Amino acid sequence: MDRTEFIEQTDARVKLVRAEFDLTQEKMALLLGLSKKTLVEIEKGRSSLGWTGAVALCTIFSSSEVLQNAFGGDLPGLIQALAFRELPIRPQKTMGGKVWWRTVRTGPGWRVQQNYISQHYRILDDGDHRLFSSFEMDQIDAFLTLYCCK
């Protein structure tokens, strides 16, 4: 998944998320910082949220079952993987990957997991803190070599 696909996926689900939270178009537009007219255009497929709007939607409605099922349950991790494609991010506590993740590699003090839906990878420490996220396994390997003594 890349940013373009992420944006397209969020655009396609705006109306579903709005219905899930029982919001009017006016209220949804207000929450997203859009005009009602722009929201209507997005819902009709004539306009787009863009990167910042898609991030806002997924952040504000992070508990949405529609979005959780679309992106594999780790919206912050996915957003960070897309935003920081080549940059390490500071550790953030996760739930340990019990639902949307499979462990693909382990080492002393770390494990690499891959999301079943978005296919992005992340490195967690023994305390379930996210150390790094990427779509590229070679970037995961490079991070492990530099920071985790692979």
pLDDT of residue 58: 95
Q: Are residues 132 and 97 in the same domain?
A: yes
Q: Are residues 7 and 67 in the same domain?
A: yes
Of 71, 103, 125, the residue that ends a domain is: 71
The CATH number assigned to the domain holding 18 equals 1.10.260.40
Q: Is residue 80 part of a domain?
A: no
Judged by phi (left if over 0) then psi (alpha if -120 to 50, else beta), residue 95 lies in alpha
Could you give the number of structural domains in the chain?
A: 2
129 is written with which tokens?
A: 């803190």
What is the identity of the amino acid at 50?
Answer: G
pLDDT of residue 86: 58
**In the structure, what pLDDT confidence band is assigned to residue 149 with cuts at 50, 70 and 90?**
low
Q: Is residue 29 part of a domain?
A: yes
Q: Give how far the C-alpha of residue 139 lies from the chain's centroid of Cα atoms, to the nearest Å.
A: 18
Average pLDDT over residues 96-109: 90
pLDDT of residue 85: 66
pLDDT tens per residue across span 29-47: 999 999 999 999 999 999 9
* Average per-residue pLDDT for the chain: 89
pLDDT of residue 2: 86
pLDDT tens per residue across span 58-98: 999 988 999 999 988 778 878 887 887 656 656 678 888 88
Q: Are residues 66 and 92 in the same domain?
A: no
Q: Work out the percent of the chain whose per-residue pLDDT is above 90.
A: 61
